[in-house]
Amino acid sequence: MENSGHLLRCTGCARVIEQRELKENFRCPECGDLYEVVYPSWSAGMAEIRKPNASAMRWLWKERCCSNTEADQSGVWRFREMLHILDDEANIVSLREGNTPLYELRRVAESTGIEHVFAKHQGMNPTGSFKDAGMTTALSVAHELGFDWVACASTGNTSAAMSAYAARAGMRSLVLIPQGKIAWGKLSQAMDYGALTLQLRTDFDGCVRVLNEVVKRAPVYLLNSVNPYRLEGQKTPALEIAETFDWEVPDHLIVPGGNLANSSALGKAFLEMKHLGLVTKLPKISVIQAEGANPLYRSLLSNSGETLEPVEAHTRASAIRIGNPASWKKAVRVIQQTGGYCEQVSEAEIALAKAEIGAEGIGCEPASAVTLAGLKKLIQQGKVQSNEKVVLLLTGHTLKDSDYTIAYHRGDLLKEGEIKDLRPEIELTRRNAVELEASADEVLRELERVAVR
Ligand SMILES: *Cc1c(COP(=O)(O)O)cnc(C)c1O
Ligand SMILES: [Zn+2]
């Protein structure tokens, strides 16, 4: 494969640079903003023959599904014409990520009155979250650049994904976490995959600060979502969705918002697909935040996304507990360019929505459930019509946070003041374990009791 030929454009000052000019912290030295990957050969003016051909690509991507090679079997790399970031495909590090299921949510459709609601389940990735799609690309770049060490500041799905891919490549991984409020559940994966985990006496922002200095002083490659190559991989669920619908895009795609890299990547994908003639219209992309971690929601409400005021983040949905999102400017553009919305949802709304997704036999992590909670809000506000085709992006697997699920069903997740008028619906979805004497009579009586409910 020839030189990748991609460039990087600053999303703040629009300066375009080459890969070797990238700073270790992936920020623009001029304006401090983040970069995005651009492909000059796709733009007008270049010889038309170099612009990828839409129908040829569609055919090729389908063909690759039956191939035996690692890159073709990956739901990320089979779309590699859209993420031409490596000089040599031999550097691909893959765990056969992507190719995730798209489920129709029939009960949700019935209860919301929307004809077609689907869940694109990114939790069905090798380490259980959508982070794998971006990690395979960014880590492959690190591998190609010859790094032995990769690092991130994360207590959650990013560290799980990073350490798995690093282990596959025979590389070492460093995870920096703040001391104190750690959800050890997810960190267990990083340990399992052999990461070096360091607990620093600071908060999350403090870890990011330290890591930025470490990557400057040692040959360690930064894999937080400021890394633009992660977003290239995270574009691929959008390609899969479009492919599943025969390149007729759904009307609306609803995504949880934390650091806002995922919503940015999906938006980039649809814009690029439209540019290349793969699709003819864009879905509205809406971003949903938890009420206690809603800096983007506030920003759009108070100043149309001109500036963003960081907040101190509180929510049980740990994957979106982010008060100062790195990719907020990119996300604002995606919402504006696609005509989507930003909404916030309460802790009780998230918990109920998670139980409803679980009751469809699918399940997801709490952060993913904001999508359904947000859909209900958008319907109430008249922003989604019954004949629209809606896709919810489920970002993480239900097993990521079983403590949350158990607490919900036992009835000790939410505080009295949080439940408000959702009590009847919450009671109906709760499935706590029932203790009984060891007798068939008792079991049969319980079955009868439940059947009449
Ligand atoms: C990382 C993550 C999010 C948030 O994605 P951003 O790109 O940070 O907005 C949501 N849900 C899950 C499960 C995640 O792991
Ligand atoms: Zn800049």
Q: What is the residue with the minimal CA distance to atom 4 of ligand 1?
A: 258
Instruction: Report the C-alpha gap between 67 and 244 in whole angstroms.
Output: 19
Q: Are 334 and 267 within 8 A, CB to CB?
A: yes
Bridge partners, 208 (sequence order): none
Instruction: Report the C-alpha gap between 316 and 404 in whole angstroms.
Output: 8
Nearest residue to 262 (alpha-carbon basis) of 129, 391, 384: 129
Confidence of residue 414 (pLDDT cuts 50, 70, 90): very high
With a 6 Å cutoff on the Cβ, whether 144 touches ligand 1 is: no
Q: Which residue has 């309460």 as its token pair? A: 346
With a 6 Å cutoff on the Cβ, whether 256 touches ligand 1 is: yes
Is 1's pLDDT higher than 50?
no
With a 6 Å cutoff on the Cβ, whether 321 touches ligand 1 is: no
Is 46's pLDDT higher than 90?
no
pLDDT at 187 (0 to 100): 86
Nearest residue to 296 (alpha-carbon basis) of 334, 248, 269, 270: 334
Q: What is the residue with the minimal CA distance to atom 14 of ligand 1?
A: 319
Bridge partners, 290 (sequence order): 345
Helix (H) or strand (E) holding 367: helix 366-380
With a 6 Å cutoff on the Cβ, whether 186 touches ligand 1 is: no
In degrees and rounded to multiples of 5, residue 354 shows phi and psi of: -65, -45
Q: What is the residue with the minimal CA distance to atom 1 of ligand 1?
A: 319
pLDDT tens for residues 152-175? 998 789 999 999 999 999 999 999
Q: Residue 367 CA: which ligand 1 atom is closest?
A: 11
Q: Residue 287 CA: which ligand 1 atom is closest?
A: 9
pLDDT tens for residues 366-383? 999 999 999 999 999 999
Q: How many angstroms separate the alpha carbon of residue 12 from the centre of ligand 2?
A: 5
Nearest residue to 165 (alpha-carbon basis) of 124, 134, 186, 188: 134
**Across 83-109, average pLDDT:** 97
Q: Is the dihedral of CA 129, 70, 245, 331 positive or negative?
A: positive
With a 6 Å cutoff on the Cβ, whether 354 touches ligand 1 is: no
Average pLDDT across the chain, whole number: 95
For the question of whether the overall pTM of this predicted structure is more than 0.85, the answer is yes
Q: How many angstroms separate the alpha carbon of residue 295 from the centre of ligand 2?
A: 23
pLDDT at 244 (0 to 100): 97
Nearest residue to 228 (alpha-carbon basis) of 134, 145, 320: 134
pLDDT at 202 (0 to 100): 87
**What's the full length of the chain, in residues?**
453
With a 6 Å cutoff on the Cβ, whether 224 touches ligand 1 is: no
pLDDT at 204 (0 to 100): 82
With a 6 Å cutoff on the Cβ, whether 365 touches ligand 1 is: yes
With a 6 Å cutoff on the Cβ, whether 131 touches ligand 1 is: yes
Q: How many angstroms separate the alpha carbon of residue 16 from the centre of ligand 2?
A: 9
Least confident of 104-113, 261-270, 444-453: 444-453
Instruction: Report the C-alpha gap between 106 and 118 in whole angstroms.
Output: 8
With a 6 Å cutoff on the Cβ, whether 315 touches ligand 1 is: no
Q: Which residue has 């170099």 as its token pair? A: 50
Is 298's pLDDT higher than 70?
yes
With a 6 Å cutoff on the Cβ, whether 299 touches ligand 1 is: no
110-113 long-range contacts, CB within 8 A, separation 24+: 111/356, 112/375, 112/376, 112/379, 113/379, 113/386
Instruction: Report the C-alpha gap between 114 and 169 in whole angstroms.
Output: 44
Q: How many angstroms separate the alpha carbon of residue 439 from the centre of ligand 1?
A: 46
Is 260's pLDDT higher than 80?
yes
pLDDT tens for residues 220-255? 999 999 999 999 999 999 999 999 999 999 999 999
Q: How many angstroms separate the alpha carbon of residue 170 from the centre of ligand 1?
A: 26
- DSSP conformation class of 420: G
pLDDT tens for residues 188-211? 999 999 999 999 998 888 899 999
pLDDT tens for residues 62-71? 999 999 999 9
Q: How many angstroms separate the alpha carbon of residue 149 from the centre of ligand 1?
A: 24
Q: What is the residue with the minimal CA distance to atom 13 of ligand 1?
A: 396
Q: For residue 193, how far is the Cα from the chain centroid?
A: 21
With a 6 Å cutoff on the Cβ, whether 261 touches ligand 1 is: yes
Q: Residue 261 CA: which ligand 1 atom is closest?
A: 7
With a 6 Å cutoff on the Cβ, whether 287 touches ligand 1 is: no
pLDDT at 47 (0 to 100): 55
DSSP assignment of 230-267 equals HHHHTTHHHHHHHHHTTT---SEEEEE-SSSHHHHHHH
With a 6 Å cutoff on the Cβ, whether 157 touches ligand 1 is: yes
The ligand that comes nearest to the alpha carbon of residue 396 is 1
Percent of the chain topping pLDDT 90: 91
| Domains, the chain, with CATH or none | 102-128+230-429 (3.40.50.1100)
The ligand that comes nearest to the alpha carbon of residue 27 is 2
Q: Which residue has better confidence, 121 or 178?
A: 121
Name the residue of 129, 225, 368 whose CB sits within 8 Å of the most ligand 1 atoms, as the mutation to test its pocket: 129
Q: How many angstroms separate the alpha carbon of residue 148 from the centre of ligand 1?
A: 26
pLDDT tens for residues 79-90? 999 999 999 999
Name the residue of 124, 157, 335, 365 whose CB sits within 8 Å of the most ligand 1 atoms, as the mutation to test its pocket: 157
pLDDT at 226 (0 to 100): 96
**Across 282-305, average pLDDT:** 98
**Across 303-311, average pLDDT:** 96
In degrees and rounded to multiples of 5, residue 102 shows phi and psi of: -115, 110
